[in-house]
Structure 1
């Protein structure tokens, strides 16, 4: 069971960084590293088909998906993404930048973000998606098949 939205770090209307210290098997890893929300709205940070992915579900009306340009390395790997919020009000967009061991491996724009509440029944999860999917390209629980040693959410 994950953290309810009211108890979890609030990712709305601000810049933030999510960093995961992981161990990626030699065959590569697939699965959810961090998610907050679900089919109604929220964020997903995961590996899929060798790539790192960040997705944002804007109120089930628009879904944004940023995929790394290179594969996730294997072994001990620090994976992270930074969302640089545009600011200037509620629900604005921003830029997602993804990193593997401090090296940028992807970047993309998210035009709109959820300004208020993601959901009343989903949670913030680490290592799997315990609720409904943020992105329709995977099926929960979508467990991360590597190992997550530590996950940090830094709000700016």
Structure 2
């Protein structure tokens, strides 16, 4: 779990979502229309993913290697209230190539589904620049050009309490790296 205001989390310790299903959930208090900005961002312009609010709607972008910005947008405005959960869930249903997971990304307000789209995920780390993971803003090279406002696209107009990332299924294992590590021990 990551909390807003905490320092950026390097990708080497950020949760591993490669080649697996995952859910990103943000707990927020929304007094009314006007909430805007980044809830969660991991990576940067050459690959990453982000959950954010723009025009009173929840959005998710999976930026595949900087070449394919896969945007999923909610069909309903975010609800006002206390302890509102805004979430994105990726359900892996196949592979396009080894390590390139494919599946359905669904957006939720609580347990109410408000959008979905097909996405593919990249097999390796999101960036070489070490932009890491941020909560409540995107302080590196932007994952997407779809953000509202200006850098660092801080979440505002509501209170962001926390963000949690949950992974399920088998984790991605880089067999080449594993083999090199085993050989180095001998």
Please tell me the TM-score bracket, short chain as reference.
Answer: over 0.9
**Residue in structure 2 matching 1:23, options 29, 33, 42:** 29
**Residue in structure 1 matching 2:85, options 78, 88, 98:** 78
Aligned to 2:177: none
TM-score (norm 2): 0.79
| Count of residues in correspondence between the two structures | 155
Whether contact under 8 Å (1:28, 1:72) holds in the other structure is: no
The offset of 1:94, in angstroms, is 1.2
Aligned to 2:165: 153
Aligned to 1:114: 122
Aligned to 2:9: 3
Tell me, yes or no, if structure 1 residue 131 matches structure 2 residue 147: no
Whether contact under 8 Å (1:36, 1:42) holds in the other structure is: yes
TM-score (norm 1): 0.94
Change (3 A) 1:80 1:37: same
Structure number with larger C-alpha Rg: 2
C-alpha RMSD of matched pairs (Å): 1.2
Aligned to 2:184: none
Q: Equivalents in 2 of 1:116, 1:29: separation in Å?
A: 33
The offset of 1:124, in angstroms, is 0.5
**Structure 2 stretches of 5 or more lacking a match?**
1-6, 169-186
**Residue in structure 2 matching 1:100, options 94, 98, 109:** 109
Whether contact under 8 Å (2:33, 2:56) holds in the other structure is: no
Deviations 1:50-104 (A, max 9, x none): 1100101011111100000001011221111110112443112211111102111
Whether contact under 8 Å (1:34, 1:128) holds in the other structure is: yes
Structure 1 stretches of at least 4 aligned residues deviating more than 6 Å after TM superposition: none
The offset of 1:25, in angstroms, is 2.9
The offset of 1:117, in angstroms, is 1.0
Tell me, yes or no, if structure 1 residue 141 matches structure 2 residue 152: yes
Q: Equivalents in 2 of 1:131, 1:12: separation in Å?
A: 21
Q: Equivalents in 2 of 1:41, 1:25: separation in Å?
A: 33
